[in-house]
Amino acid sequence: MVRILWVLAASAVAVALAWSVAGLPGHVAATVGGYTFEASTPVAAIALAVLVLVLYLLLRLLGTLVTLPRRWRRWRERRRRERGDAAVTRTLVALAAADAGEARRQAQRARALLGDTPQTLLLAAEAARLAGSEAEAEALYHQLAAGEDAAFLGLRGLFRLAIAREDWSAAADLARRAEAAHPGNAWLREERTMLAVRVGDWTQALALAGPDAPHAAYVTAAAESAIDPAQALKLARRAWKDNPAFTPAALAYAKRLRQSGREGRAQEVLRETWKLAPNPEMAESALAATSDKMARMQLAERLVQGAPDHPESRLLLARVALEAGLTGEARRHGEAARRAGLNQKRLWLLIADLEAEEHGDTEAGRLAQRDALRHAATAEPDPAWRCDACGTVHAQWHPACPACHTPGRIVWGEPVRLALAAS
């Protein structure tokens, strides 16, 4: 309805203008050379208007012809951009779907349409990596890394390739370059920490570790690997102070104290940790100070003073008593360990040795030995160092599991229980 009203209004204005022009009086004459043109005023006005309109249209046409090449180029560029953006989108979809062939085709199309921009180079490199063409991917990442704005993207890609082929020295160099290109990046910090763990650079791992990292494992490992004795002692003390119940830290601290001539303090550290978490490796460390059997017995008695009734303490006293020939004392501690709930293979093997020592090669001794060995065959497994991330049992503690490379997950305990905890 509104449009109809506008049309009627415009028509009325046009009629009014035409009526006004038609009512103009007089004539208009023009002489050009030997020709004279004469017309009434309304006709001359209309002719002038038509002439102006024609000139305007001619000028517009001329302007269009002049700017046509530029407009054509802009249209083609816009069209290439649209097609290139579509190829980028299809490349991303193919990468997400792990379709290596389609990803490479679309990435090449995007490069052909948009040129070698950081976006197209990155997509082409990722597509090549997905397709297993490491050399092509590496060349594209190098091309990215050579730029200024997108250097970090190229360095990150090269870093991932170096990690995949376990080229740790190259990975470390790329990590440093990436840190310089983009300081403080959280992802890079985690990757550099992982790399430090893999190559055993525990000082670097400790420096990069976040709040949730296994600091006790890192500090202990750094103390063990330190070359400077003073620095090693300082780190070992820090590890033990942070967690006195951590056996590897206590062992590392006691070792460094011995190297500095402080045997008494080393024994104190082992006694403090034994009170919190008895472990046979600490007993070995404490008793290593002497080979005299009675002196070892005395060292063991002092070691277990903080936890005398613990099964580990009873088992240790039984073992050193048997070594010293004190079979009665060994039997007393062995029976006490059994009453405390210990039913492990090592206990029954000790009892078998005790029966052999006490009864000798007699019928009663052989019967008692066989009975102890039968119990050992069905007893619970002995405790061990085991990774609670992958379940691998290790002969000794490691700051990171050699099997799965997870740091700080190797703990001491019975293998069966640890496997259940890990699952």
Q: Which CATH architecture has domain 215-382?
A: Alpha Horseshoe (1.25)
108: Cβ–Cβ under 8 A, 6 or more apart, which residues?
Answer: 124
Same topology, domains 97-204 and 215-382? Answer is: yes
- Report the alpha-carbon distance of residue 28 to residue 45 in Å, rounded: 9
The letter for the amino acid at 9 is: A
394: Cβ–Cβ under 8 A, 6 or more apart, which residues?
Answer: 384, 385, 386, 387, 401, 402, 410
- Report the alpha-carbon distance of residue 280 to residue 274 in Å, rounded: 9
Burial classification of residue 39, based on how many CB atoms lie within 10 Å of its CB (0-12 exposed, 13-18 middle, 19 or more buried): middle
Class in CATH terms, 97-204: mainly alpha
Chain-centre distance for alpha carbon 191: 5
Instruction: Give the residues across from 394 on adjacent strands.
Output: 385
- Report the alpha-carbon distance of residue 406 to residue 400 in Å, rounded: 5
The position carrying tokens 């000794």 is 396
pLDDT, one tens digit for every residue, the chain (423 residues): 777 777 667 666 665 665 565 565 666 666 666 666 666 666 666 766 777 777 877 877 777 777 778 877 887 788 888 888 898 899 889 888 889 889 889 889 988 888 888 888 888 988 988 888 889 988 988 888 888 788 888 888 888 888 888 888 888 888 888 877 877 777 777 888 888 888 888 888 888 888 888 888 999 999 998 899 999 999 999 999 999 999 999 999 999 999 999 999 999 999 999 999 999 999 999 999 888 999 999 999 999 999 999 999 999 999 999 999 999 999 999 999 988 888 999 999 999 888 888 887 788 778 888 888 898 899 999 999 999 888 899 999 999 999 998 998 999 987 654 444 444
Chain-centre distance for alpha carbon 25: 94
Q: What is the pLDDT of residues 55-81, one digit of tens each?
A: 877 877 777 777 778 877 887 788 888
- Report the alpha-carbon distance of residue 217 to residue 225 in Å, rounded: 12
- Both tokens of 232, joined, read 């090693």
Residue ranges per structural domain of the chain: 97-204, 215-382, 383-423
> Rg of the chain over CA atoms, in angstroms?
45
Dihedral of alpha carbons 309, 310, 313, 317, sign: positive
pTM of the model: 0.67
